[in-house]
Amino acid sequence: MNRPRGDITIRLLQPEDAGAMLSLCRASRAVFEKFQPAKADEYYTLAVQQEDIAKSLAEMNAGNEFSFGIFHGDTELVGRIRLSAVHRGLWQNANLGYFVGTAYQGQGFATEAVKLTAALAFGEIGLHRLQAAVMPWNPASLRVMEKTGFRREGLAERYLKINGTWNDHVLFAQTAEDLISDGTE
């Protein structure tokens, strides 16, 4: 059984995190571009990282998304996890996306961050369902979904355009009841 890592925290990204986010993105750019849409060189500037965090905070205030930094301890930024496309009303749903810098991969950071984010989403944020989409050829992320209790719901063919090519994604979901019945809440 996997034990929770007490040295991993998540918190809302703040403007003062932009420099650390820039360093993380620059160091991991070659790997990230295999899994994300290609980003222009200007994305890898402090100004764009500051703007991205400011937009995320505005979206949070509007109730549309929550963007958290994944931290080793309280200060070392190792990744980001985001609840986006938040829907209220009858659905109470959000999309879950995350990344961990290449220097920190394979150490349990993503797994623990997903657990922490799900608990927050189903608790304080008040959502009922989270969805995630993972490329079938991303075994590390598929394993994160498995270890965190997300259920596989199917394959979405040509789901997202990544670097000019439409890629299939495996769809996963978890509901508040899943978290409670798993004993993690």
Residues 6+ away with beta carbon under 8 Å from 121: 66, 83, 94, 96, 127, 130
Residue 18 pLDDT level (bands cut at 50, 70, 90): very high
CA distance linking residue 90 with residue 65, whole number of Å = 17
Q: How far apart are the first and last CA of the chain?
A: 16
Q: Is 147 exposed, middle or buried (0-12, 13-18, 19+ CB in 10 A)?
A: middle
**Is the pLDDT score of 68 beyond 90?**
yes
Residues 6+ away with beta carbon under 8 Å from 3: none
Q: Which domains does the chain have, with CATH numbers?
A: 8-181 (3.40.630.30)
Contact 24, 79 (CB under 8 A): yes
pLDDT digits 0-9 by tens, 91-143: 999 999 999 999 999 999 999 999 999 999 999 999 999 999 999 999 999 99
pLDDT at 41: 85
